[in-house]
Amino acid sequence: AMGAGTLASAYLLNDSTAAAAEIRRRFFPHSADYPDVRKHNNCMASALTPSIYARLSDKATPNNWTLDQCIQTGVDNPGHPFIKTVGMVAGDEESYEVFAELFDPVIKDRHNGYDPRTMKHPTDLDSSKITSGIFDERYVLSSRVRTGRSIRGLSLPPACTRSERREVERVVVTALSGLKGDLAGRYYSLGEMSD
């Protein structure tokens, strides 16, 4: 016969879905899982409250990304007293909707009041509007462009599987191979590179 301890252990070891979280609540209240972030210096710790945690902790995105997965990095890394970090990550695009009650204030805190519900970030890619775009070669030796990626339908890096990473590579390489002229380049996969 299985006892309650055996059942609880089985559920705790397999908490990857919202259904498992619901069953776990039979054994433990939300407050038992609430992280101690009182001494943390990150946006998530500033915005997270026991009531927000209780409302969101049993939810999951369609890819089964949970609130605890979103906040774990901020729980594990308390931050520096003088450098406030974000303290949470999104696993997929749906994370921003499912966990909006926490993401929205974190975004607002991190981006100086930008409210994703009421504001729209302006985008102007017209290069003719750039002024003073010539750099003095005595002071600028090189520059680098760094990008992040969000491809609809694929998980974001914190939740990306190996197969999704391969699909991201395929999609990005295909898109970039269409660039011509001074934007054209050659792609080197990590497997092709030496040192």
Binding residues for ATP: 142-146
Sequence-ordered list of residues with C-beta below 8 angstroms from that of 11, at least 6 positions apart, any chain = 20, 23, 24, 27
Count of beta carbons in the 10 Å neighbourhood of residue 96: 14
Q: Which residues are annotated as a binding site?
A: 142-146
- C-alpha torsion 110→116→119→121, nearest 10: 70
- Helix ranges (H only) for 37-99 are 43-47, 50-56, 67-76, 95-98
